[in-house]
Amino acid sequence: MTEEDINGISNSSFDKAVQKSKLLEMDLYKNPTKYRVLTGDRPTGNLHIGHYFGSILNRVKLQNIGVETYILIADYQVLTDRDVFKDISKFVFELTLDYLACGLDPKEHKTYIFPHSHIPELNQLLVPFLSLVSLSELNKNPTVKEEISASGKEIINAGMYTYPVHQAADILFCKSNVVPVGKDQLPHIELTRTIAKRFNTKFNTNLFPEPIGLLSESPMILGLDGNQKMSKSRNNSIMIKATEDETYKLIKSAKTDSERHIIFDPVNRPEVANLLRLSSLCLGKSPEEIATEIGDLGSGKLKQITADALNSYFKEIRERRIQLEMDKSYVRSILQDGIKMARQTATETLSEVREAMNMMI
């Protein structure tokens, strides 16, 4: 299978997105106040260490250099593909706890955390935006197509086709110009750019920026099975909030191979390479260096080093999480502050949108 088959985006447009993302990243560190970041997650449960090294850590870095950061919890979007409404408020709470424990800090920085269901003015943008895209464009979205086929369902609700337009509202309500995402989200960013452009042209305005996707640099973290991405639904992950014991047990159960000598060889020994990569991220040493240190001591030693490294890296984060968990009203106040700020921004944007569309009274 080519990359195009897998992701539905051609290599050349992917290369372009990577290039754009690299240039953007350099400028972000030089001019942090020029940018407004918005990114989002679906509240489907707790975050695992793949999420942490793949995206959360990067968000914390951006926050800490002074970039304004909107973190959106996409609770409406979850309705399009999952039956989780009974658990949703718990998931929103747990996700917020994970964010705060990992260092996102709305009290100290310009960081706002909010569920989009609480921002009516954001949701209202969906209506005009829907008239800017065609059905065939929605049908062609490669990420949506893949999610539909993975769901195995025969009847697909309309929300499944329109959620990328909703996502454009998520991004454009605050006129964000940087959206940190994984590769699978690039089609949605492209659609957002299209909607921004069409809105500006149709209503003769320059209201919306065309946001750029910021692709995370960190290596792909595989699951404990060593042959596919870490993901909760694949049952191969270590949660950020796992205890030390759970972490030891999980790492002990990780698949390795029978060769005693440890080397970093991602192609031929992906499982061993994955554990070396995880230790490397936690210890700040190269995977090769760690492999050399282990040498002939085998995968038992590799597992011990990896579990120790994870447990010491996440110690403080886990302790903070336990503290926060006991302070429900603090966590709630974080969300209330986030909602307040996001609504203020959304209200201003909606009023500008109405003006542009000639719908003021």
Q: Which of 138, 179, 305, 307 binds ligand TRP (CB under 6 A)?
A: 179
- Residue span binding ligand TRP (CB under 6 A) among the ranges 71-79, 129-137, 286-294, 309-317: 71-79
- Residue span binding ligand TRP (CB under 6 A) among the ranges 47-55, 103-111, 177-185, 268-276: 177-185
Q: Which of 28, 35, 37, 42 binds ligand TRP (CB under 6 A)?
A: 42
Q: Which of 92, 171, 272, 276 binds ligand TRP (CB under 6 A)?
A: 171
Q: Which of 44, 63, 77, 306 binds ligand TRP (CB under 6 A)?
A: 77
36 touches ligand TRP (CB under 6 A): no
Distances from the Cα of 123 to the Cαs of 77, 218, 317, in angstroms?
Answer: 11, 32, 34
Residue nearest ligand TRP, CB atom distance? 40
The owner of tokens 């979850």 is 78
17 touches ligand TRP (CB under 6 A): no
72 touches ligand TRP (CB under 6 A): yes
Count of residues that bind ligand TRP according to CB under 6 A: 14
119 touches ligand TRP (CB under 6 A): no
- Residue span binding ligand TRP (CB under 6 A) among the ranges 35-43, 120-128, 302-310, 311-319: 35-43
* Nearest approach, Cβ of residue 171 and ligand TRP (Å): 5
48 touches ligand TRP (CB under 6 A): no
* Nearest approach, Cβ of residue 269 and ligand TRP (Å): 31
* Nearest approach, Cβ of residue 167 and ligand TRP (Å): 4
Tell me how far apart the alpha carbons of residues 279 and 33 are, in angstroms, rounded to a whole number: 34
- Residue span binding ligand TRP (CB under 6 A) among the ranges 40-48, 249-257, 274-282, 312-320: 40-48
Which tokens go with 233? Answer: 């639904």
Chain residues that interact with ligand TRP, rule: CB under 6 A? 38-42, 72, 74, 77, 167, 170-171, 179, 181, 185
